[in-house]
Amino acid sequence: MPNEPVPTCRSVTGAAGVGGVGGAGISLTDATAESGRHGGPDGAGSGAGTGTMSAAGGTGKGNGTRRAVGNGKGGDATGVGARSRRRLGPAFWVAAAWTCVIVLAAIFANLLPLTNPNLIGAGPPSAAPSLHHFLGTDELGRDILSRIVFGARVSLVVGFASIAVAAVIGGGLGIVAGYIGGVFDWLANAVAYIILAFPPLLLLLAIAAFSHQTIPKLVAEFAFLALAPLFRITRASTLAVAGREYVQAAVASGASRLRILVREVLPAVLPSVISYAILGVAIVIVGEGSLAFLGLSVAIPAPSWGNMIAEGRTLLTLDPWISLIPSLAMLSLLLALNLCADKLGEYFEVREAKL
């Protein structure tokens, strides 16, 4: 019998079947596996192939697989590929929705069917929650629901505005100091340490003792106190990003410092800044409430959650809802903000160890 050429098996692994009725059958797989052209999060792709061949009444089947390693962008486990597997989760969206409800109610409070928050005698004094006054009234007969909605404006404006100002100024200085370094970095760090050395509440009390408090003054005071923490966070994130390959590639290509800071460094630094800024808003709201409780925030009778809590502290045994309801409103907002900051930190893998 003449010698026949033996087929070549191109698969890495395969099974050969031998058998048949009334004769011998030989089957070899002739399968090829297509390697993955794009790496997954671990940089690996895989492919599989199946081939069959029959001879002399016998039939055999084989399977082949082969793996190939790719070096695409998916090889970075901390990149977009890994992030796509993480989810913010329903808790984040519930917290974000509740925050949006409070913010929108405060913005459009004048359009809502609410009584004047300063109207004395809108209902019976110290009335319990009822159909006419859903959250009751205070000792002067003012509607508590109306005062909570309008009072949220003070906390929200002071909280978000002060952190926004501090993030723009302190964050901008932190990016520049972290990337450029040198004398400017040393001086900016020294100023930040001096600001951090002051006890925040003591400083606010000292300022309030010598001036009449208004919302713009409160924003400026809290923004000044938030400058140093946001500067330090942004600077630390910039130092971690400045040595990465894509930043060095931009430097080697001759890009200007401004372009590198805006196009390469800023997008990598923003997640950590946003996460800590949301947490800062919650801290500022607590600070403003503390000042209002002490009578050092906006002047009475303008409603504020802090002064509402203070007004009802003498009636806790008789009418606890006067202080309890604004306390719960503040607590719910603080929990929502903290949960949003925590979930965003997990999503973007913001860790204190990196800062």
Which DSSP letter does residue 316 get? T
- Is residue 8 predicted with pLDDT exceeding 80? no
For the residues 126-154, what does the mean pLDDT come to? 87
List domains and CATH numbers for the chain. 86-111+134-354 (1.10.3720.10)
For the residues 1-21, what does the mean pLDDT come to? 42
- Between the alpha carbon of residue 64 and those of residues 19, 246, 256, the distances in Å are 21, 38, 52
Separation CA 17–CA 56 (nearest Å): 13
Count how many residues are written for the chain: 355
Q: Which of 91-105, 196-210, 242-256 has the highest mean pLDDT?
A: 91-105
pLDDT at position 46, please?
38
> To which residue do tokens 């519930």 refer?
94
- Partners of 58 in the beta sheet? 55
Lowest pLDDT segment from 137-151, 184-198, 305-319: 305-319
Tokens of 209: 């003792």
Taking every pair of C-alpha atoms in the chain, what is the biggest distance, in angstroms?
115
Q: Give the CA radius of gyration of the chain.
A: 33
Question: Judging by beta carbons within 10 Å of its beta carbon (0-12, 13-18, 19+), is residue 332 exposed, middle or buried?
Answer: middle
pLDDT at position 16, please?
37
Separation CA 245–CA 156 (nearest Å): 40
pLDDT band at 22 (very low <50, low <70, confident <90, very high): very low
Q: How many CB atoms lie within 10 A of CB 53?
A: 17
Whether the bond between 5 and the residue before it is cis, its omega within 30 degrees of 0, is: no
- Is residue 285 predicted with pLDDT exceeding 60? yes
Q: pTM value?
A: 0.72
**pLDDT tens, 166-191?**
999 999 999 999 998 889 999 999 99
pLDDT at position 351, please?
60
**pLDDT tens, 322-342?**
889 999 999 999 999 999 999
